[in-house]
Amino acid sequence: MKRIFNIFALCLFSAWCLLLCGCSVQKEIGNQAVITGLYLDYSLPAQQFEIAAEIADFKGYEKNSSLSTKWVSAGGQTLSEALFRLQKNVPQTIYFSHAKILILGPGFQAVSPQHTISFFLNYNGINSDILLCTSNANKEELTSIKKQNFSTEIYDALQLGNRKSSQLYRLFNSQKNFWLLPEISILENEACKISTSVFINGIYAKTLQNRQELIYLLSTQGIQNQHYSTENFDLFIKEGKSAVQDDQNRLLITCRLMAEISDTHGIIHAEQLTREAENQLKQKLTAQAVSFYNELKEDGKLKLFFNETYSQEPEFQFDITIMKSQFQKEESDS
């Protein structure tokens, strides 16, 4: 009797396992359309989502050859509908988990992408560490790119630039009121230029160019471990913080930086290195800060970036400490 009960219990447990964990969800790896990257855009006039997926084609893929890919696209009134139609356009089951980047199209400059991020974060199968970026290219421009495995190339470039902060789950869990997303511009020769777009409170604010990102971060939250080049020096900024002093007479933004010299261009006497690097860094940063401020002022976006109670023109002051680096020690020894 006990044996019969044991066999019955085992059968019941096995059936339970089958139901819960399921052979119904089995999917052979060879029958999957592996997506390497996603593009998403929203057309405000048509109120329609446009989705494009870069799908890996494994035929002919060998160890040393690069992966060939193709773009497949679909549209829909909702994101679910767009994804459903995308699946209809692909013979195999779409597999999202290895998708590396999610590119938001220019439509999201007009509409907040917050709901989209939330949707993908909860969407079964999408990795929450997918990198989010923006692009000014529309779907047609992107899908007509002849370059194979475009998403992986972009992903690798973003990884090199240490853009992990734009991962989906990091953005969603971020306590900050702004997001800095990498922005990809597709050039005529199909190469890419990566800049940074700023979303404040979920709304697109501005695309930052040429180290404006550094000035912005420095004046808002501080920076760490950044490379910066001046006329004669490659510098490594270890840490930078800012403080705002708002008197009746003047608005002073003081930035304190600790940096060290990585390399020099041109011949400078060893004793003058530190002073010269300090001067060059101070001059360049001040010029960039003033230029950035003026640009924001011209665009009428000052309030988005700086506290609106600031009524006066800010004065930027940089206190720079150049620490003795390994490079300088070697120079002085020689």
Partner 1 sequence: MKFSSNLQENFDNFQNIFRDNCMIVFRYLENAYDTQLKAVAVFADGLVGASLVNDYVVKPFVANAQIYKQEDKLMFAKNSVLQSNDIVIVTDYDDCIKRLFSGDVIFFLEGYDSPLAVNARFPATRSISEPENEKALKGPREGFCELILFNTALLMRRLKNDHLKLESFTLGNRTRTPVVMAYIEGVCHPDLVKQIRTQLKKINTDSITDTNQIAELLKAKPYSPFKTTGSTERPDVVANKLLEGRIAIIADGTPQVITVPFLFNEYFQSTDDYSINFYFGTVSRLLRYLSFLISLFLPALYVACVKFQHEILPEKLLYSISASRVSVPLSATMELVVFLLFFEIIREASTRTPSVIGQTLSIAGALILGQTAVEANFISVPAIIIVAISGLCSNVLPQMKGAMILLRFGILWLSSLIGIYGVILGGAAVIIHLADITVSQTSYLNEMLPSTKGAWMDIYIRGPYQFLKQKKDYLSKEN
- How far apart CA 54 and CA 147 sit, in angstroms, is 11
Output 48 or 167, the one with its CB closest to partner 1: 167
DSSP 96-132: -TT--EEEE-GGGGTS--HHHHHHHHHSTT--TTPEE
Among 8, 61, 123, 169, binds partner 1 (CB under 8 A): 61
Output 29 or 187, the one with its CB closest to partner 1: 29
In the complex, what is the shortest distance from the CB of residue 41 to partner 1, in angstroms, rounded to a whole number? 26
Output 1 or 20, the one with its CB closest to partner 1: 20
Q: Which amino acid is at 293?
A: Y
Per the DSSP assignment, residues forming a β-bridge with 135 are 184
Angstrom CA distances, 177 to 4, 6, 240, 253, stand at 63, 59, 20, 20
- How far apart CA 225 and CA 255 sit, in angstroms, is 15
In the complex, what is the shortest distance from the CB of residue 53 to partner 1, in angstroms, rounded to a whole number? 16
In the complex, what is the shortest distance from the CB of residue 143 to partner 1, in angstroms, rounded to a whole number? 21
In the complex, what is the shortest distance from the CB of residue 42 to partner 1, in angstroms, rounded to a whole number? 28
- How far apart CA 245 and CA 25 sit, in angstroms, is 60
Strand, helix or coil for residue 25: helix
Binding to partner 1, residues 1-60 (CB under 8 A): 17-18, 20-23, 25-30, 32, 34, 56, 58-59
Output 30 or 266, the one with its CB closest to partner 1: 30
**Contact indicator for 154, 99 with CB cutoff of 8 Å:** no
**Contact indicator for 191, 157 with CB cutoff of 8 Å:** no
In the complex, what is the shortest distance from the CB of residue 325 to partner 1, in angstroms, rounded to a whole number? 37
Output 30 or 45, the one with its CB closest to partner 1: 30
Binding to partner 1, residues 63-102 (CB under 8 A): 63, 67, 95, 97-98, 100
Strand, helix or coil for residue 191: coil
Residues forming the site for partner 1 (CB under 8 A):
17-18, 20-23, 25-30, 32, 34, 56, 58-59, 61-63, 67, 95, 97-98, 100, 127
